[in-house]
A = this chain, B = another copy of it.
């Protein structure tokens, strides 16, 4: 089988599968930050932080913009919504199925009750 290019959701979920990157997204959900502000809470080299940031950028979850010498990072709620919606659709699909099954079972004549 030929290698397929990664799908957008592959990159997003891959980006979110790392605790450092999730903490970076958490930080950015409280407001945009420069790369050095973003790096501040981590005991990690700046190149390592930049590498994590690149994974987040490639996934679309974070955008960055350089003005002068400062690169500012912002989360993209559209991309977050896309990942959230995929999970939500699966969960709701399953829950509706269980509801329909419950309604079907409720509508069945109950053998024990009717037999009395």
Chain A contacts to B: CB under 8 angstroms: 1, 4, 7, 9-11, 13-14, 16-19, 22, 25-26, 28-31, 43, 75, 77, 80-81, 83-84, 86-91, 93-95, 97
Determine if B97 and A91 form an interchain contact, defined as CB atoms under 8 angstroms apart. Answer: no
Determine whether the beta carbon of B17 is less than 8 Å from that of A13: yes
Given B13, B18, B77, which contacts A16 in the complex, CB threshold below 8 Å?
B13
Q: How many copies of the polypeptide does the oligomer hold?
A: 2
Interface centre among A11, A16, A89 (most CB of B within 10 A): A16
A29 and B80 contacting across the interface, CB-CB below 8 Å: no
A49 to chain B: closest CB distance in Å? 14
Residue of B nearest to A101 (CB): B31
User: Are B31 and A19 closer than 8 Å at their CB atoms?
Assistant: no
Q: Could you say which residues of chain B place their CB within 8 Å of the CB of A84?
A: 84, 87-88, 91
Q: How far is the CB of A11 from chain B (nearest CB, A)?
A: 8
